[in-house]
Amino acid sequence: MARKQSQKLLIGAHVDQVDPLTEAKARDADLAQFFLGDPQGWKGAKIAYAGGADQLRSDADAAGVGLYVHSPYVINVATTNNRIRIPSRKLLQGQMDGAAAIGARGLIVHGGHVSQEDDPETGFDNWRKCIERLDAKVPLLIENTAGGTNAMARQLDRIARLWEAVTDAAGGDEVGFVLDTCHAHAGGIPLSDAVGQVLAITGRIDLVHANDSRDDFNSGADRHANFGSGRIAEADMMAVVRAAGAPVIVETPGGAEGQGADIAWLRERLD
């Protein structure tokens, strides 16, 4: 059966980095998102694909699979702690270079946070400095986060202040935004009008991370679930996907079977 709207809306999954193209095929995915190295470590970007960066880029083009890179979770360019912030900038640049080498469509990074006792304005200014110093060879896409009382990108008012700081930086007008449905739900942003609220702030949504949430609204818990097994209503999930009109990545559990079912779930509702 031919796809209709889902032909226009590219849908993919976060997969293992060793052979993301085979993983994408196993899920019938248009896109593959993956890490370049250890997501919890400080070592530089590593291309695990056989044949290296050039081969992955060539093979992805031939397969018609779009690539996205998710930066390591340890990166926090907002923090006032120099021993974290400075290595974070260096690691982010290395991830950017690796993403460019494989022809990625974007590099995703979390918004980060400052300590409870810190003024969040310092974190926003640290983001501005980061953008000004970054050699952005592919689009940098900042993702909203689920938890933390002093997070830079959890609540809408913080996202608005972050976007002011980012767009004030040289090159900041090219920075994009990732809307994660689980993070928004758990972070206290109602999904029914999340797209409109975010677009009013950023003017853009470049990617949607479509994930159900294991936990309740405003729980602060970043625990993804497969569609229909979590706390996000189907109508709210589809409202985000349809209104954003951006490529979609599922980061749900269950490997090829679970994510493949979630991709099919989305396409069925878009057809």
Q: What is the C-alpha to C-alpha distance for residues 196 and 183, in angstroms, rounded to an integer? A: 16
Structure confidence at residue 8 as a pLDDT band (50, 70, 90): confident
Instruction: Give the pLDDT confidence score for residue 258 in this predicted structure.
Output: 98
pLDDT tops 60 at residue 5 = no
Nearest-angstrom CA–CA distance, 221 and 217: 9
Asked whether the beta carbons of 139 and 174 are under 8 A apart, the reply is yes
* 82 within 8 A of 52, measured Cβ to Cβ: no
Mean pLDDT of 109-118: 97
Decide if 189 contacts 144 (C-beta within 8 A). yes
Burial call 84-113: b when 16+ CB within 10 Å, e when fewer: bbeebbebbbbbbbbbbbbbbbbbbbbbbb
* DSSP calls for 71-94: PPTT--TT-S-HHHHHHHHHHHHH
What was the pLDDT predicted at 1?
31
Asked if the model's pLDDT at residue 150 lies above 60, the reply is yes
Say what the pTM is.
0.96
Residue 7: its pLDDT value, please?
A: 54
What domains does the chain contain, in order, with CATH numbers? 9-250 (3.20.20.150)
Give the burial string for 128-141 (b: 16+ CB within 10 Å, else e): bebbeebebebbbb
Tell me the pLDDT tens digit for each residue of 30-74: 999 999 999 999 999 999 999 999 999 999 999 999 999 999 999
What φ, ψ does residue 182 adopt, rounded to 5°?
A: -65, -45
Angle at 123 between CA 118 and CA 129, to 5 degrees: 145
pLDDT digit string, tens, across residues 14-25: 999 999 999 999
| 28-56 as b/e: b if 16+ CB within 10 A | ebbbbbbbbbeeeeeeebebebeeebeeb
239 half-sphere exposure, CB direction, 13 A CA radius: 13
* Contact yes or no for 181/219 (Cβ under 8 A): no
